[in-house]
Structure 1
């Protein structure tokens, strides 16, 4: 009798070990997810940047919105599209005022993904909410229409991947769903973008005579400390033209690393404060600066153990 009980105990232990092994594999699949939309900034990335608040754990992993693939025929359930099937459920909270909106215009636009692991890829699809959608209800398939797709045919993309699309005419608040179908797993990546469309798009030729000169301060709008600027936006400040390198609000051109001088003479660069050497065991928050191999880096969001010269969480300051 005691022998049978011992064998049963061994069986139970063995099943527990197997169960933990598969749970570990599932967890690894989630946390090793590898991509987010960096232009325009997705809902998840704005959470990581601290612009969106009360987001949950996605602030540490905007690249980890991975869920079942083959969307829209299969994939994540309705009501959980923003969270990739409940990975980060806070992202599914939906109302007209819940999320910060990035300013956009209809027409030609280049979407940019930042990848931390370049999965072999099938396709990249872009959807936008239909006219008359309800912004105060959970996001469902029926809210979206496909407007752009790119096929990679199983190839591995670059770590910075861009897609040229034509956004349909829209005005006011709309949600864009960027979907990445990978080829080496059965999953896909889901990124939603909250956009405010100005409704003034006109598909003119940007090279026509008489168009404003983007490097002329007289033709470029003045910097507004209350305005939200995206990667590539240009402003004039103190007679110079500056271009934003990533999302910004309230950062003064000529004083902040987010702005790059386009014309004129660069103002004297203030002396950079000393920064501690990067440590693999230290946790850093967005805005923290470190030195690594003689180069100054700044963290975009929370990080620990990610080497500054190999991870997209770090940007070079000098």
Structure 2
């Protein structure tokens, strides 16, 4: 019986198959790319722009910081929050001067996600490090305030390429880290982006055309506070007024609150 393949031919065939498998995997990875926070610029995006250096593979894939959802509950491990559970471990290096910072002010700010795959969405939520956090220790849940300073539910809606949120950042000074999380509705995963922020105005970039709008000097809504009819609060960048006595009822969800500005 005639031999159909010589040894060298089999070798080339094997190499071709491996190459095809590799490019199929890379292609699937590109299709599975998802999104990142582009304003203010996330740690991963600044790696992509080579403002941050020695970042590892995230410099090519800032959109791929994907891990199980559930934060701040069981999801990703402490110490691996910046890397979405170790996807790009270089991002978990944490010191006061390891990462370039963006300038922000406390109060109302515009945050924008750039999506490369528009997944049905459960919610978006944002967290910030505590006033007394240690920037020279790993990012753990204990370093963050675990009540999100902004949270909005999309109920499974499919977003566009750009998603913008008007958020109200709590009062901070100096260097802090903000964590933004995008929970996908039809998978078990979420996307995690951290932003290194300088609240003293000594960071590296902030577009002056995107400066924060002025907001009335009302207190930020607190879940444990008691409010009387007529009291005004800020929640998710909007001003709400209580119709009657309330405590623990979230503005925008409970009928006791009405938007006035």
Q: TM-score range, shorter-chain basis?
A: 0.5 to 0.7
Where does residue 14 of structure 1 map in the other structure? none
Aligned 8 A contact 2:101 2:204 in 1: no
For 1:69-218, list aligned pairs within 5 A. Answer: 69-145=69-145, 146-198=148-200
CA separation in 1, counterparts of 2:138 and 2:72? 16
Alpha-carbon distance, 1:119 to partner: 0.5
Matched position secondary structure for 1:137: coil
Is residue 231 of structure 2 the alignment partner of residue 229 of structure 1? no
Higher relative contact order (CA 8 A, sep 6+): 2
Alpha-carbon distance, 1:230 to partner: 2.5
In structure 2, runs of 5+ residues without a counterpart are 1-20, 212-261
Matched position secondary structure for 1:171: coil
When normalised by structure 2's length, the TM-score is 0.67
CA separation in 2, counterparts of 1:71 and 1:83? 14
In structure 1, runs of 5+ residues without a counterpart are 1-20, 200-225, 235-242, 245-318
Question: What's the C-alpha RMSD, in Å, of the aligned pairs?
Answer: 2.4
CA separation in 1, counterparts of 2:124 and 2:159? 11
Matched position secondary structure for 1:198: coil
CA separation in 1, counterparts of 2:197 and 2:60? 23
Aligned 8 A contact 1:30 1:64 in 2: no
CA separation in 1, counterparts of 2:189 and 2:151? 17
When normalised by structure 1's length, the TM-score is 0.55
The 1:227–1:40 alpha-carbon spacing in structure 2 relative to 1, beyond 3 Å, is: closer
Where does residue 37 of structure 1 map in the other structure? 37
Q: After TM superposition, where is structure 1 displaced by more than 6 Å over at least 4 residues in a row?
A: none
The count of aligned residue pairs is 187
